[in-house]
Amino acid sequence: MNIERLGIRFNLDKEKDRMAFEFLQGYDKERYKSLNKFLIEIISEYAENYNIEKEQSDFLERVISTIRQELKSNASLTLASLFSQPQPSVQQAVIEESKLDENAATSLDFINGLCGK
């Protein structure tokens, strides 16, 4: 049998410690035959949910990063293509560039809103 022991102390003068202690005192004794089993289940569920949330967060960050990179590279490609074509009037070029800037800014605002930044 491979058993590890862990001790825990609660400072009842601190609100969070007292709340945790009181929560543990009220565990369902009919469902869980021991406080140890109750704690193991709570910690296991928390760890599982934490890992799932971390994976989802990492995935979302990769998606957002990829979209940002594509938006930036496409914006610069579009600008480059504007300059490689026969030049329209200066006024027309300024209008086209401002439209691209507005579209890129709107897209980046949308992406930033997705990740809460």
Distance CA 104, CA 72 (A): 8
**So what's the pLDDT on residue 11?**
96
- Single out the residue of 83, 80, 73, 75 nearest to residue 100, CA to CA: 75
Read off the pLDDT band of 6 (50, 70, 90).
Answer: confident
Which stretch of DSSP H or E encloses residue 113?
helix 90-114
**So what's the pLDDT on residue 30?**
83
Read off the pLDDT band of 14 (50, 70, 90).
Answer: very high
pLDDT, tens digit (0-9, with 9 covering 90-100), for 24-66 = 988 888 888 888 899 999 999 999 998 888 888 889 888 888 8
**So what's the pLDDT on residue 5?**
87
Q: What is the pTM of this model?
A: 0.47
Distance CA 110, CA 116 (A): 10
pLDDT, tens digit (0-9, with 9 covering 90-100), for 54-110 = 888 889 888 888 888 887 777 666 666 656 655 555 566 656 666 666 766 777 677
- Domain residue extents for the chain: 33-114
**So what's the pLDDT on residue 99?**
67
Distance CA 93, CA 82 (A): 8
* DSSP output for 37-95: HHHHHHHHHHHHHHHHHHHHHHHHHHHHHHHHHHHHHHHHHHHHHHHHSPP--HHHHHH
Does 17 have pLDDT greater than 90? yes
Does 116 have pLDDT greater than 70? no
